[in-house]
Amino acid sequence: MRRRTSVWLTALLCAAAVAAALAVALVARPAAAGGETPSRIEQNGVSREDRRQSPGGRQERFLYVATIAQSATDPDFVAVIGADPRRSDFGEIVNRVDMPNVGDELHHFGYSADQDRLIVPGLFSNRIHIFEIKRNGKKMALRAVNDQLATKSGYIIPHSVIAASHGRAIVTMIGAATDTTQPGGIVEINDRTGAFEGHFGPGPVRDPSDLGPTYMYDFDSLLEANRGISTTFGPPALCGGGIDPTCLGGEVSVWNLRRQKVIQIADLGESSGALEVRFIEERGVRRAFINTPGTNAVWLADDDDGDGVFEFQQVLGPEHGLLIPADMLLSYDHKYMYLTNWFGNTVQQFDITDPFNPVLKATVSVPHPNMLRLSRDNRRLYVSNSLLTPWDNDPDFGPPRNSDYGIWLFDVDEHSGGLTPFNSDGRAWVSFSNVRKKTTTGPAGPHMMFFDPSIPLVPGEH
């Protein structure tokens, strides 16, 4: 397979030497989180018991969507969509929150623990934007832009944002400011300014005794077990320019949260490229699902014997209809798992009552589906269909995937399983094929979605 380096990566690597040199000094100091790690991840003191008992019947008012402008002159933006069918703005883009610069490549974003602020990283720019949420969630005001994260931390490509306590947020960083853009890691930032506060775990300059992580993408934690799992993707220098399955890594890392240290490495197969990790949130259960788009599979990690060491086994594969499963989420009642098959053009619903043997309950069509968001009452499933600019537009893997951008909405039969599209003819609930941007009108790529603050976060949700 070929190797390509995009314009954004070329510019980024020009600054890598400076950032890496600074990182040598930075990582020599102790990690800022110290022994307070579990409380910081716990999010504002909310327990898993609260998570199970949180009211789930509340109707979301707005859907926030991180959107790629697909334009050389327009900044990326967060689209605000009316999501309450009782309102006249249902299914309409009611606000567009533009980034202050062009070329950020919005991807994932998250909240402060109090949900007063939205934390929006630029995947390619390494900028962290802090927006104050106003007017019942419809409006946002830019309060801070921090462009020093790569320089201060030595890591690049901010991905997942996970709200924490003590005014901090946890951010996974896919790569490092090195020639190889490895290793990946995790940082803590100030959730009001976006400033780097410290490394969670090792910095990019490692002691030979550090087990890892070599790769980084997503992170989820199980506080009562003092364990976390981080996933893989691949080095930005190899994966950033276009679709290249051979660039993906094959390992995932198990963490001791209190020690902020990787204690176990699991090999899920060459170029498996593990993306999302989702723990099953049930008392006494130590199990997590992991999707691996590089091998068209889903794995189950379990510590059923409680010894702190996880066993890994594949529970779904191509024979179950998986074809580049890009996103995965679990229902809040732990009954269903949802998968998007980016190249399969399908969204699947599996019954996971027996997580070792998921059972397919429903399959629906969406063109190149990507990210998922499920309502707290488990009744509404939202699906977006843009991944990454150089991957969406890669001409070597079929036609460009930006001809039919949008958000699809499905009603969920949470009792017996099933997905019913909002539009029976397969059209998007909200089309992004011709949207108004800051200076132009045209297609834009919707990726990650979040609900407005009227829907409270659950611990670790991102």
The 10s digit of each residue's pLDDT in 425-447 is 999 999 999 999 999 999 999 99
372: containing domain: 7-451
- Taking residues 224-233, what's their average pLDDT? 96
Count of the separate structural domains present in the chain: 1
Instruction: Decide if 446 contacts 407 (C-beta within 8 A).
Output: yes
Distance from C-alpha of 74 to C-alpha of 72, rounded to nearest angstrom: 6
- Taking residues 120-127, what's their average pLDDT? 98
Domain presence at residue 29: yes
List the structure tokens of 290: 């992991």
Where residue 324 falls (left for φ over 0; alpha for ψ -120 to 50; beta otherwise) is left
Residue 429 sits at φ, ψ, to 5 deg, of -65, -45
Domain presence at residue 456: no
Domain presence at residue 161: yes
Using one digit for the tens of pLDDT, what is the confidence trace for 151-180?
999 999 999 999 998 999 999 999 999 999
Distance from C-alpha of 301 to C-alpha of 112, rounded to nearest angstrom: 29
Domain presence at residue 254: yes
Domain presence at residue 459: no
421 pLDDT above the threshold of 50: yes
Band of residue 41 on the pLDDT scale cut at 50, 70, 90: low
Domain presence at residue 24: yes
Domain presence at residue 274: yes
* Cut 0.85: pTM above it: yes
The CATH number for 211's domain is 2.130.10.10
Band of residue 56 on the pLDDT scale cut at 50, 70, 90: low
The DSSP bridge pattern shows strands 110-111 and 117-121 to be antiparallel
Question: Average model confidence (pLDDT) for the chain?
Answer: 88
The sign one gets for the Cα dihedral 450, 453, 455, 460 is positive
448 pLDDT above the threshold of 50: yes
CB-hemisphere CA count at 13 Å for 355? Answer: 24
Domain presence at residue 460: no
Strand partners for 311 = 302
- Taking residues 336-354, what's their average pLDDT? 97
Q: When comparing pLDDT for 122 and 38, which is higher?
A: 122
Helix 7-14 crosses helix 16-26 at what angle (to 10 degrees)? 50
Band of residue 58 on the pLDDT scale cut at 50, 70, 90: confident
pLDDT (0 to 100) of residue 398: 73
- Taking residues 225-246, what's their average pLDDT? 90
6 pLDDT above the threshold of 60: no
pLDDT (0 to 100) of residue 28: 32
